[in-house]
Chains A and B, each alone.
Chain A
């Protein structure tokens, strides 16, 4: 097989001049890039692949939506080159990867700001603290009426909406509100389709719900976003507050994971370089929020160095929940 010589020549190419060495008169890239994973990250990867396909028509890019867990399963078995993920890789998944000899590079590519929303006619609630959110959503929470949060608010039952328990959105929300071992109330309206949640909250004056910021940005006139009061004033979910990290803790990072062995192939190398170069413009276009420039610089450097492993585990391999800005500072 000539794979070895290919890798050797590529390593040379990468070390000498980096990914920009390809010139216009170079032979067009060929081959296939297999991507699978989160349907949340899919719109970003779709946009990048669409643009990439315009210049590199011979490269066959396929993107699947098996979900973050399903994507990692195939990624860790070495079946796909890139995994789309709406959460960092879990310890068990990283172990599975190590077992099958897959080394990976972790690259955060965007923020998805989870937005808590109420009905526009809800005049009383315009901000909540994390403790309030916990009171509403946690299984042991005491807030069944709006009055239970603030005595001046009406004594009507809160109608609670939430994305499906299998979604990464739900996982992330659960982790930052009630923690890994906590539980979310079970007497709430759940839907796998965030548009159903939008319609639910938009049609019920006493409701509250949460979902990715893209669904709020598209339905601003039907919904009212609730600011998060984290002790330093109320922060509303906007493109700016999500990007600069002040909208905590509900700014959720989205990732792509690249198999290091695949990264040696010229088409994968070019695709990831293209991804990082165009992420800033494309991410906002499909409804997510771009990362701060400093983090992108760090991410690009990690890619250049092929820094393997995740930034979300301790040296002992235990998972940690650090905000992205801290993990990648």
Chain B
């Protein structure tokens, strides 16, 4: 402190700071509350089991979100199931196993950069890599290599085309950098003394990671997972590039099924001229929020199950 200040001055600045913080949180909460209330106000009346079970229709009263709801659930489940192990594995390798070298530095820089890439770019990558497989297997879906009956759960074909699997993998690309970075941060926050203690007792590096470091880092990892899954559910640009399907009269049956997603359905309804479509768009937003909370709920559950108290 260069200039000594009186006690009352310091108390005043403390109070001002407190008020600024309160304002900040209130603005955030009020905006969210206004948004939620207006959505529920608009969408509650048209939300029904029929709305959840019907397919798209030109009549707002008969339109439903069965296809886009289950499309979103399939795509996000695939995305989470692939991205979390892959992302956490990468982070564990970079933090706990890899020696700091020029190679790991390049990888690290690239991951940082990828986290800032607009998601539509991943859409183009997903289209090329997963949906078309670089065109080496032909572009026509009828010529694809396939295994199994197209109606069965285990049907697989190459290239994937604009299927739920291609969609999930594309979203995986979008969230992978975020998962890796947040996992790394969580691992770094685990005190080094814990690792050293485990090593001193003769544990291998793997035993240390599995028994000590990962359980201690689970809260941070799962927070990262929640944030990235929330992003995946709301993402529409990469999937628009991938196929942008809006109307489909089936819920996904297998990994190769065509799919629609909720954000695209909401966007389309909200842009229609008829006000009745705006109302069902609001209902779909409510469903989307529930799906989002459900996915996050799973992450919270995993966190509670896996978290071991540090002693």
Interface residues of A (CB under 8 A from B): 34, 36, 39, 42-43, 45-47, 49-50, 53, 57, 60-66, 70, 77-79, 193-195, 212, 214-215, 217-219, 282, 285-287
For the complex of A and B, the 6 pairs showing the least CB-CB separation, nearest first, are A63-B247, A47-B58, A214-B273, A218-B273, A64-B244, A66-B244
What would 17 more interface pairs be, CB under 8 Å, given A63-B248, A193-B271? A42-B247, A46-B247, A47-B58, A50-B56, A61-B247, A61-B248, A64-B244, A65-B268, A66-B241, A66-B243, A70-B244, A77-B139, A194-B273, A195-B271, A214-B273, A219-B273, A285-B58
B289 touches A (CB below 8 Å): no
Chain B residues with CB under 8 Å of A219's CB are 273
- In the bound complex, what is the Cα–Cα distance between A214 and B245 (angstroms)? 23
Report yes or no: B247 in contact with A79, Cβ–Cβ below 8 A. no
Chain B nearest Cβ from A87, distance in angstroms: 18
Chain B nearest Cβ from A260, distance in angstroms: 15
- Most interface-central of A34, A62, A215 (chain B CB within 10 A): A62
Chain B residues with CB under 8 Å of A78's CB are 139-140
Chain A residues with CB under 8 Å of B264's CB are 65
Interface residues of B (CB under 8 A from A): 55-58, 139-141, 162, 240-241, 243-250, 258, 264, 268, 270-275, 278
Chain A residues with CB under 8 Å of B247's CB are 42, 45-46, 49, 61-63
Chain A nearest Cβ from B164, distance in angstroms: 13
- In the bound complex, what is the Cα–Cα distance between A77 and B244 (angstroms)? 16
Q: A39-B268, A193-B271 are in contact. Are A53 and B249 (CB under 8 A)?
A: yes
Chain B residues with CB under 8 Å of A195's CB are 270-271, 273, 278
Chain B residues with CB under 8 Å of A43's CB are 58, 272
Q: A78-B140, A215-B273, A218-B273 are in contact. Are A64 and B58 (CB under 8 A)?
A: no
- In the bound complex, what is the Cα–Cα distance between A43 and B247 (angstroms)? 10
Chain A nearest Cβ from B74, distance in angstroms: 15
Chain A nearest Cβ from B28, distance in angstroms: 25
8 Å CB contact of B271 from A46, A62, A64, A194: A194
- In the bound complex, what is the Cα–Cα distance between A238 and B275 (angstroms)? 20
- In the bound complex, what is the Cα–Cα distance between A23 and B275 (angstroms)? 40
Report yes or no: A212 in contact with B268, Cβ–Cβ below 8 A. no
